[in-house]
Amino acid sequence: ATEPTIVETIKAESPKRPTTFGYQKFYAAELDKKHQDKSYRYFNNINRIAPKFPVAHTASHTEEVDVWCSNDYLGMSRNPVVLETMHRTLNQYGAGAGGTRNIAGNGQMHLALEEELATLHRKPAALVFSSCYVANDATLATLGAKLPGCVIFSDSMNHASMIQGIRHSGARKVIFKHNDTADLEQKLAQFPKETPKIIAFESVYSMCGSVGPIEKICDLAEEYGAITFLDEVHAVGMYGPTGAGVAEHLDFEAQQASAESSTPVKGSAMDRIDIITGTLGKAYGVVGGYIAGSTDLVDMIRSYAPGFIFTTSLPPANVAGAQASIAYQKTYMGDRRLQHINTRALKQKFDSLDIPVVPGPSHIVPVLVGDAGLAKAASDMLLVDHGIYVQSINYPTVAVGEERLRITPTPGHTMEQMDHIVGAITEVFDTLGIKRRADWVKEGGRAGVGAMASKEAERMAPVWTDKQLGLLDGTAPKTLCSTKGDRAIVDLKALAEAQRRFDVTLGKAGFNPVKDTTISPVMGHTLAHGVNVLHPDFQVPTYLAAQA
């Protein structure tokens, strides 16, 4: 054998260097856990096409699918007044905000949006954040940390943003059973009345479609000395005569009678809530989040919350588009009425075929699958074989064994698209052997499905009544029918009202589509009332067309 070289001898005699942590191996192991328990998240390439809403194309521009799971509940992301306002703001004020709200990023568009939001909820003030995740996190974290000895009572099904905010606050957390006010009261009673308390809950719980008992929680808050924190993310734009959410909807007639006023309706559910949070990225079709409350509460969060202070503010075009969307929906109820009418119709179709839908009074249609692998397979089959995009919802978003397909009808879905998804899901259930409601009844029920033998006993009365939807007096909007050439409606009164918000900042939007060709090609050239530019895929309501 040859003698070792001097270099080899030195290496052999030198102390071994400690090995570093196996970062890449750790990453791979964590991902493997996700694959093993079927909770790994897959992100489909879905590109929603504004002129064809609710249609999108996949990675291939020639492959189009019907989207049935978007949170763009009302199609406002393609509403002409939103697009036109954003285009004009972009040309006037540029792409970005230029800094934080404290440094160069606090413009008149931001202030006007906050005033619009405060008026919407009839609160003294509002504050806009980059998202409602940030709004919830920042507000709960700041309040929980600042209030001395604060205890936060959190619904067991609260959104991750609220859970994270409570965790960041360092405050004591008490979880109460979902929508169980008896359990909440029993836990509130354990603390002195003078102890600062926050009850954090939601109006519409987005994965199951349940609705929070707002009025009863307000009663408990008053009795036990707590303040209320209500997340209306999945309700703003969707409920109430002006779209302010479920809290407004609970006093529908009183709120509607004074819709032109920003003065609170005393004693109403919305008036009793201390802090309301909402999003600009779902029913309003843009991006951002906000809180609304008392002047000092909002100013305190503005002054102390890192999530607000140390981030670039939203671009002017985004906040202008959001304000236009809110103003439009304040004036026109037709979109949300039709959304809820379509939701009812879809639930009835599934019910007739024994497709298991988690019972709920809201606009969410959660179709129970009950297995993570089957939910993913069903989603894939709908997309590949039927041209329908519905995302599967698995743990940790929902509990293991309660996996589902979360369906969200819109006013833009047609009768034909509705029949298509019902037929496709029926076929997928048959092919994959997914349990129907009758199967869940035999097993004692799951996620509220089949817990009662009678379907009638399991059903919940919807938030929107027949009267509020216009079903009793014949004013209800009709589901679109593509074979009849129906197109979505733009309400000219609402459009003009939204445009008026920007007469000072952007100038009047009195385009003449015959002479003016500077409008974005996304916009159309139909003139009505002399001030409104309409999208080519929209039609004027007959009662307005007669006035044009």
Q: Which residues are catalytic?
A: 282
CB 338 within 8 Å of CB 363: no
For residue 319, what are its two tokens?
């906040």
CA distance 429 to 203: 31
CB 405 within 8 A of CB 361: no
CA–CA distance, 172 with 162 (Å, rounded to integer): 14
State both tokens at 324: 């236009």
Sole residue written with tokens 């952007």: 506
Closest residue by Cα to residue 437 from 447, 427, 428 = 447
SS (H, E, C) 323-336: HHHHHHHHHCCHHH
Handedness of CA 195, 163, 460, 436 (dihedral sign): negative
The rounded distance, in Å, linking the Cα atoms of 264 and 418 is: 39
Helices and strands, counts by H and E, the chain: 22, 18
Strand partners, 512: none
Judge whether 65 and 383 are in contact, CB under 8 Å. Answer: yes
Nearest alpha carbon to residue 79 among 548, 533, 546? 533
| Contact (CB, 8 A) for 79 and 328 | yes
For residue 355 the two structure tokens come to 């497709």
Residue 56: strand pairing partners: 48, 65
Q: Which one, of 548, 546, 545, 543, lies nearest residue 470 by Cα?
A: 543
Q: Which two tokens stand for residue 101?
A: 């709200």
C-alpha distance across the termini of the chain, in Å: 103
Q: By three-state DSSP, how is residue 304 classified?
A: helix
Q: How far is CA 350 from CA 197, 232, 296, 356, 368, in A?
A: 42, 27, 48, 7, 11
Separation between Cα atoms, residue 134 and residue 288, nearest integer Å:
9
Classify 315 in phi/psi space as left (phi over 0), alpha (psi -120 to 50) or beta.
beta
